[in-house]
Structure 1
Amino acid sequence: MTTSKTGLTRRRLLQAGAGVVPALALGASPARAAAVPIVSGVVPAALAGFDAAVKKYVTERQISCAQLTVARKGKILLARGYGFYTIPAASGTGMRSRIMGVQPTSLFRVASLSKHITSAAIMRLVQDGKLSLSAPVTTVLGLSAEADPRLEQVTVLRLMQHLGGWDRATSKDQLWIDHTISATLDVPLPIGHADIIRYATARPLDFDPGSKMVYSNYGYMLLGRIIEKVSGMSYESYVKQKLLAPVGITRMRLGRSLRAESPAGEVSYASKYTAKSVVDTSGAVVPYPYGGFSMPNQDANGGWLASAVDLVKFAMIFDAAGPVLNAASIAKIFAKPETGVNAGGAWYGGGWWVRSNGSGLNTWHNGSMPGTFSFLARIQDGVSYCAVFNRREEEGTPDFDSIDPLLGKATGTVTTWPTTDLTSRYF
């Protein structure tokens, strides 16, 4: 572990909640060492338990970039950025790399926290009378059921609830086998959505649609194509215009595969693993988060860039009828599927896990891909929180899913909730 001039390691600085850490601790040259904030944003004293939980969590897992946002009853109460990242200098420019502190508004890949966004977009089309949840995917997208007639039983709703008939434990996750698809179809890398659909449609389903719930990234990728087909717009444009703009969210966008393509304000991603590039035919071995998988192909199932404050603000559209969704649409997203509840008393709605809590519902989801872990929850008493990280669980690292009970426990330590709303500071 690197030690700064002050003798404090990055880990000890984070544990202590120090305000700055010399850039030298990140490997910058001594001549370039400068003070870089290690934490940013606002943490009310009443919510210090949340802040302490995340500091401990990132320290134990050696996470270099993180965010946390907490809200209650429509007000953002805590918004925090942790750590820093390096923006490499562009080749041939003669410029030096820059070290940036994570802000509450910095952008992260959020992986499967994209799914409730896609479900909301589907429900908006249904709400506007442009789509039916009972419509078969074969009809909407013009797909052939020749390889398996059961494909005609895969409806829009079944896609939303992961009841479509694909089991990645059996037939592999179609969003993560670019080399296989490229070789099978004899098409060059990078492959696109049409190639993935052509590959999957030519193969039989793994189970009868509607008979059980099996998580499917491919099903959500198809929902993205349905949104495009029905709306006549790109998936990203439809979401931005119909879902994000009405609630004042402007930063969110779809991510790209390579570091050089990152927009301003996007953090860097860490993984000890490498992979064979899927962005070209070079066969190069690349850092897994940068070219080891296709971000453009992930769009509707896992492709969004967002900050924790963006995700918490967007999650407020599910609290009550508003400019994006009406009450009937929200109810349908949280409704129990035809398969009922699982052994733990939960069920998968539209992009959310759901569980009854007294007279209300707790809803949550996580996201995970190389270089990303994220978690978002809406719980009792109008409380919601989101944490995002630039690393996910890998061999030898502690359990990343423990962020759920840690933040839940922090909620229980709050005796008096703050009333100051930070929303205007970030939007």
Structure 2
Amino acid sequence: MTVRPSFSCLKLLLGVLSLLCWLQPALKAIQPPDAADNPDTKQQATELKGVSAAELTAFTDSLAAKGLWLTELSTRMSRGNQVFDARAAPNTAELAWFAHVNLTAEQFAEKQKQYSADGFVLLSSKALTVRRQRLHSGLWTQDPQASFELQLPAEELPETGVIGTNLEPLNQLFRNFLKNDAVPGATVAVSRDGKMLFERGFGWASVDQKTPMQPDHEMRIASISKPLTAVAILLLEADGKLSLDDPILPILATHSAGFSPEQALDSDPRWADVQIRHLLQHTAGIDRDRSKDTMFELVRIAGTLELDRSPNTHEIVKYQLLQKLDAPPGTEFHYSNVGYCLLGRIIEAVTKSSCEEFVRQRILIPGGMTRTRLGRTTLEHRGTHEVFYTTRNRRRVPLVFDLIAPPADGIRFVEQPWGQWDLEVMDAHGGWVSTAGDLVRFAEMLSATENGLLQQKSLTLMLQRPALPEPSDSAVWYGLGWNVRELAEVRRFNIWHTGLLSGTSTLLVRRWDDYCWAVLFNCDRTNKNTPCSVAIDGPMHDAVDSSVQLLPR
């Protein structure tokens, strides 16, 4: 089975400029785009000479769109005024950096102590007497020579769970995969016709504490959250509460948050043409390669909306509706996280309840998915039976909330899975936590049976190919919340979804022959830099087929 990428384009928050002009702090957060965000961006070194503090601020603000970082910073007196010289270059190593100007000696010493403790090195510094006061400027960056590579325990790889211990092809697949690809841990579940055939844990739930992975350990499922949202919309369609062809603006206008259709239409009249179906199929005209992934632009959104805290989902939607579309609705496929954020708000507008509550009442409870819930961002809010996530490079990054509202005692640094982005605002597109067992229960319910969630009409809608102006004869497409592969020889379909966030990679499959499986990893990539879900996908089909031969007839 060929998997089309469905994972989020994540960005490292890569810079902060604090201009303490006459000791009046004005924090600026610099968030350069990932290379995939804007392929047309030209990364070229650039410099300024003899500029004012205001011009320096504007210069550093412009670095984000160019993928640059500050590499040199100095200050001097010119004709009785303080001026600055600065140089920026491509931030190819994706290092976080901080620049401060006009600090007292005590403030400078405190910053040096703080940043050294966080693994930063002083790249350059300059002291200057201004109006009889000695002021210091400094540029700090993460040490490019420091190694933060993931180290796995040397002990023998643990295995847990009793369901499927005799299915050696599956067991051997994960023993070899975790060992050869240096992946910390995984949970796996396989079922068919309501019977759990395999449910086991492999490796480590925590590499630092050497905690064995259990079959029911909870993990972030990332973009597998989208099928939950899509099924919720299909349930509302079956209830007669909405139509997939409904334009979204009139529905959003009824939301308690007060979304303004007029403002959206002022931004781009084409917003009037966006329908619910377009959001479900990623054809609404929102292209993150051209206009960035809104869900990971929280610093920019907070600045635009003049917020003193991280924006919530309602504010993200308000910001999105102020943006121009990148293509006419219904004409092009572009995978969109913020499109599913909009769907979450449509669910709220129609049901007059939270998206979370509707999913719980109509999907989780009927399906017996007792271990599925919305996740939290920071380590201190980790669930009691949730894994510890890790990345291959464990270099720490600024906590996104602190970039928006800096604490008095300084910005905190965290490992990427615990605050590089805000998980809470990802509810409808990537925010759920679940278990492999719960996810196969969800997949099992996608059949027109007595215990199924959806009627045959809804299942047919879910599998439909998008009606784009340029038809495709590909055997693979994105339906309503699912990747779909048509198997013409059996007149059946495979449906699946993957997910990727820093620290987690996930896969959920319902195959044409009604075998369902879920695989959850607590690391996003293998030692070959391949998303774990992509690397396991093909071998998983083979292992399931071989294991089926061992089941009693």
Q: Assess same fold via TM > 0.5.
A: yes
Gaps of 5+ in 2: 1-149, 254-260
Quote the residue 2:251 is aligned against: 140
C-alpha contact 2:505 2:531 (8 A) present in aligned 1: no
C-alpha contact 2:202 2:214 (8 A) present in aligned 1: yes
Gaps of 5+ in 1: 15-36, 89-97, 421-427
| One-letter amino acid of the structure 2 residue matched with residue 74 of structure 1 | G
1:110-156 Cα deviation digits (max 9, x unpaired):
00011101000011111111111111111110233210111111111
Q: Is 1:379 matched with 2:540?
A: no
Q: Is 1:301 matched with 2:429?
A: yes
C-alpha contact 2:446 2:453 (8 A) present in aligned 1: no
Q: Is 1:130 matched with 2:241?
A: yes
| One-letter amino acid of the structure 1 residue matched with residue 292 of structure 2 | K
Quote the residue 1:120 is aligned against: 231
Output the CA distance in 1 between the equivalents of 2:356 and 2:370: 12
Counterpart selection for 2:457 from 319, 322, 328: 328
Q: Is 1:246 matched with 2:366?
A: yes
C-alpha contact 2:192 2:516 (8 A) present in aligned 1: yes
1:297-350 Cα deviation digits (max 9, x unpaired):
010000010001100111111122445221111111111111287564211111
C-alpha contact 2:160 2:215 (8 A) present in aligned 1: no
| One-letter amino acid of the structure 2 residue matched with residue 354 of structure 1 | V
- Taking the TM superposition and a 5 Å limit, the aligned residue runs for 1:215-234 are 215-234=335-354
Output the CA distance in 2 between the equivalents of 1:79 and 1:338: 39
C-alpha contact 1:40 1:104 (8 A) present in aligned 2: yes
Output the CA distance in 2 between the equivalents of 1:395 and 1:413: 26
Quote the residue 1:354 is aligned against: 484
Quote the residue 1:93 is aligned against: none
Output the CA distance in 2 between the equivalents of 1:304 and 1:313: 15
C-alpha contact 2:218 2:387 (8 A) present in aligned 1: yes
Counterpart selection for 2:334 from 206, 214, 220: 214
| One-letter amino acid of the structure 1 residue matched with residue 491 of structure 2 | S
Q: Does the residue aligned with 2:542 lie in a helix, a strand or coil? A: helix
C-alpha contact 1:44 1:418 (8 A) present in aligned 2: no
Quote the residue 2:191 is aligned against: 71
Name whichever structure is richer in helix by fraction. 1
Output the CA distance in 2 between the equivalents of 1:341 and 1:414: 38
Mean CA deviation greater in 302-311 or 375-384: 375-384
Output the CA distance in 1 between the equivalents of 2:431 and 2:363: 16
Q: Normalized against structure 1, the TM-score is what?
A: 0.84
Output the CA distance in 2 between the equivalents of 1:343 and 1:269: 39
Closer/same/farther in 2, CA of residues 308 and 3 from structure 1, 3 Å limit: closer
Q: CA RMSD in A?
A: 2.3
Identity, % of aligned positions: 32
Closer/same/farther in 2, CA of residues 201 and 331 from structure 1, 3 Å limit: same
Quote the residue 2:280 is aligned against: 160
Closer/same/farther in 2, CA of residues 125 and 39 from structure 1, 3 Å limit: same
Mean CA deviation greater in 252-261 or 285-294: 285-294
Q: Does the residue aligned with 2:345 lie in a helix, a strand or coil? A: helix
Counterpart selection for 1:403 from 511, 522, 536: 536
1:359 Cα deviation after fit: 1.2
Closer/same/farther in 2, CA of residues 86 and 407 from structure 1, 3 Å limit: closer
Mean CA deviation greater in 282-291 or 260-269: 282-291
Q: Is 1:390 matched with 2:522?
A: yes
Output the CA distance in 1 between the equivalents of 2:453 and 2:214: 27
| One-letter amino acid of the structure 2 residue matched with residue 405 of structure 1 | G
1:417 Cα deviation after fit: 5.5
Output the CA distance in 2 between the equivalents of 1:165 and 1:133: 16
Q: Normalized against structure 2, the TM-score is what?
A: 0.65
Quote the residue 2:142 is aligned against: none
C-alpha contact 2:181 2:528 (8 A) present in aligned 1: no
Counterpart selection for 1:196 from 292, 302, 316: 316
Mean CA deviation greater in 350-359 or 253-262: 350-359
C-alpha contact 1:60 1:398 (8 A) present in aligned 2: no
Q: Is 1:187 matched with 2:307?
A: yes
Output the CA distance in 1 between the equivalents of 2:543 and 2:400: 41
Name whichever structure is richer in strand by fraction. 2
C-alpha contact 1:44 1:77 (8 A) present in aligned 2: no
Output the CA distance in 2 between the equivalents of 1:203 and 1:265: 40
